[in-house]
């Protein structure tokens, strides 16, 4: 009898865990799609290396990752010495995970994840923007960058071009853009 109850509890636990994981996984796909951005696909370490080579982070930089996923670019920016690094992320599970990773890495004073849509981001103080989005979002992102960024600010985009802009440098599938003087 005891063994039957044990297996019943085990099966129920497995069903619950599988359902939670499925909801998390489909949420990671669906929430960003409804929010007009890319689903969660993390940047691979070798691509991150390229992104940071082009970014040349300095200790005065305020860095923003639009759609920060598990926070890997935000944490790596803090590790590279950025004054502040900020991630905007729409998926609450990824916000929780990345916030935990920031605390574990000891960067809670210089890195933060905002559970907020990137479409409401204030980029007026940003010196460097990281992007790994999706083609249909790039036009809207461009308008955000044009509205807020100051001359000299940099954008490092993984995989996708900003429509109508010429990149200043291209390294494989990573593009660097610099905001020019409006004069
Ligand atoms: C391709 S992933 C990139 C993750 C991370 N930047 C990286 O390079 O590893 C895109 C991320 O953008 C997030 N996202 C999509 N739409 C968003 C929105 N409107 N506001 C904030 N985050 C969004 C997704 O949840 C996902 O985590």
Residue spans per domain, the chain: 1-34, 45-178
**How far, in Å, is the centroid of ligand 1 from the Cα of 30?**
12
Each residue of 27-70: pLDDT tens digit?
A: 777 888 889 999 999 999 999 999 999 999 999 999 999 999 99
Classify domain 45-178 by CATH number. Answer: 3.40.50.150
First to last CA, the chain: 82
**How far, in Å, is the centroid of ligand 1 from the Cα of 4?**
44
Whole-angstrom CA distances from 169 to 93, 122, 130, 151, 178 are 34, 26, 15, 17, 9
**How far, in Å, is the centroid of ligand 1 from the Cα of 11?**
34
Of all residues in the chain, the percent with pLDDT exceeding 70 is 98
Whole-angstrom CA distances from 12 to 7, 21, 26 are 8, 14, 21
| CA-134 nearest atom, ligand 1 | 1
Helices (H), the chain: 2-34, 45-55, 72-79, 92-105, 135-148
Question: Whole-model pTM?
Answer: 0.90
Residues with CB under 6 A from ligand 1: 32, 35-38, 40-43, 65, 67-69, 72-73, 88-91, 94, 117-119, 132
Phi, psi of 162 (to 5 degrees): -90, 120
pLDDT at 21: 83
pLDDT at 1: 66
């Amino acid at each position: 009898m005891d063994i039957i109850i044990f297996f019943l509890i085990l099966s129920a636990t497995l069903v619950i865990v599988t359902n939670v994981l499925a909801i998390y996984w489909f949420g990671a796909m669906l929430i960003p799609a409804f929010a007009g951005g890319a689903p969660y696909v993390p940047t691979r370490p070798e691509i991150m290396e390229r992104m940071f080579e082009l970014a040349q982070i300095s200790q005065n930089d305020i860095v923003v990752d639009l759609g920060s996923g598990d926070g890997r670019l935000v944490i790596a920016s803090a590790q590279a010495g950025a004054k502040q690094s900020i991630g905007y992320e729409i998926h609450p599970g990824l916000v929780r995970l990345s916030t935990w990773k920031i605390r574990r890495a000891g960067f809670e004073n210089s890195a933060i994840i905002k559970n907020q849509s990137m479409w409401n981001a204030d980029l007026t103080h940003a010196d460097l923007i990281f992007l790994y989005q999706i083609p249909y979002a790039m036009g809207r992102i461009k308008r955000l960058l044009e509205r807020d960024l100051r001359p000299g600010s940099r954008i490092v985009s993984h995989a996708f071009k900003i429509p109508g802009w010429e990149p200043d440098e291209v390294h494989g599938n990573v593009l660097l853009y610099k905001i020019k003087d409006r004069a």
